[in-house]
Amino acid sequence: MDAIFIVGQHYAVADHLFPPAYMHMIARYTVWYNYVKQHKSLMGLSPAMAADISATLWSMADLAEMIGASLPKAGPRGPYKRVA
């Protein structure tokens, strides 16, 4: 599995550096940086708004809802095992 790490604002690929949890963290950071964060150099717009990909500035609640919607739904729990 390839891992992606950030050097400044650039992404580089390397093998076996990070566990999968870090890959999800980097993906969340990338979405936050491009859709949620307002950039002073873009006059308060996000990069996605400046590129006409998104019409509105997203909030962290919007991002949390998208992450929650993508998670698998919890099913019924099985019986507990007794520990003697």
Sign of torsion over alpha carbons 16, 17, 18, 24: negative
pLDDT tens-place values along the chain, 84 residues long? 445 555 555 555 555 566 667 777 888 888 899 999 999 999 999 999 999 999 999 999 998 998 889 888 888 888 878 776
Surface-to-core class of residue 46, CB atoms within 10 Å of its CB (0-12 exposed, 13-18 middle, 19+ buried) = buried
Q: Is the pTM of this model over 0.75?
A: no
Domain spans, the chain: 20-64
pLDDT at res. 79: 83
Whether the Cβ atoms of residue 34 and residue 45 lie closer than 8 Å to each other: no
Angle in degrees, CA 34, 37, 39, rounded to 5: 95
pLDDT at res. 1: 40
Identify the three-state secondary structure at position 17.
Answer: coil
Identity (one letter) of the amino acid at 84? A
